Amino acid sequence: MNHHINPLAVHIQTIKRRLVVIGAAILVSLIVTFSFSGQMVAWLNRPFQNQLVFYGPTEALFASIKVSLLAAVILSLPIIFYQCWKFVEPALLPKEQRWAIPLFFLAAGLFALGLVFCNLVILPLVIDFFVSFGLDRDVTPQLSVGTYIDFNVKFLLIFGCAFELPLVMTLLAVTGAVSAQMFARYRKHAILSNLILAAVITPDATLFTMLLMAVPLMALYEIGILGARFFGRSSAGGGIDLPVDPDLPIGTAGTRLR
């Protein structure tokens, strides 16, 4: 007798398997990038220019691990995006699946754009603001490498992921899971969430740093609404029915009409 297969359990198992692949890719990349951690710390130290110091025996080691982990995540992006795509691919129609390769490049480009924008615009402004604030009060800046790297890595990761927001919102609208009207209806909630996120992530939680992080997030959310409006499905289409096994190449669009 065939036992009833729980689709939710199958989906959870699939997610676990793909997360294991992503974790293994990041771990292998971390081993490679750790050997270049010194050069990466020196690159991030450009806006400050003074010599970084460390106050504990392990602080320099953990700072190197953090910056290496960031580089490992960037290096693993092709695998991360591929695993994410293979999970959502069964819910898409064949004509939508042909967008796989362009979406890979678009997602990678948006993440890289977020890193570049943060590294060249946001971080120099933030660091210069706080260092100048101390210098104006005759205080000599001496930053620990652990605090400095943690500050940089947080900002870089957040902006890299944040620049994926318009793409994620658009894809959700394309699959019919969420509509542009729903995104617009929850705009106030998104603004509040952005402010809370900025307050939690920024170490000092001053108005200046909160706005530097929250304003771009709000702008990206609005871009996502536009993308959802132009490329999204009709709100009358209903939800998505994933097949029992997301890895099966047949019946990939569930009960949706071709």
Q: pLDDT per residue over 3-57, tens digit each?
A: 566 777 777 888 888 899 999 999 999 999 999 988 998 888 887 777 888 888 8
Binned at pLDDT 50, 70 and 90, residue 113 comes out as very high
Please state, in angstroms and as integers, the Cα–Cα distance from residue 133 to each residue in 126, 137, 201, following that order.
11, 7, 21
For the chain, what are the domain ranges? 8-163, 164-235
C-alpha angle 104/228/89, rounded to 5°? 40
Percent of the chain whose predicted confidence (pLDDT) is above 70? 85
pLDDT 10s digits, 65-77: 999 999 998 899 8
* Alpha-carbon gap, residue 30 to 121, rounded angstroms: 27
Write down the pLDDT at residue 123. Answer: 87
- Neighbouring CB atoms inside 10 A of 105's CB total 11
Place of tokens 């500050």: 151
pLDDT 10s digits, 116-136: 999 898 888 888 887 887 777
Angle, helix 37-44 to helix 145-162, in steps of 10 degrees: 80
Write down the pLDDT at residue 251. Answer: 46
Percent of the chain whose predicted confidence (pLDDT) is above 90? 16
Write down the pLDDT at residue 1. Answer: 46
Closest of 72, 79, 75 to residue 27, by C-alpha: 72
Q: Across all residues in the chain, what is the average pLDDT?
A: 80
Paired residues of 22 in beta bridges? none
Looking from the CA of 202 toward its CB, the CA atoms found within 13 Å total 22
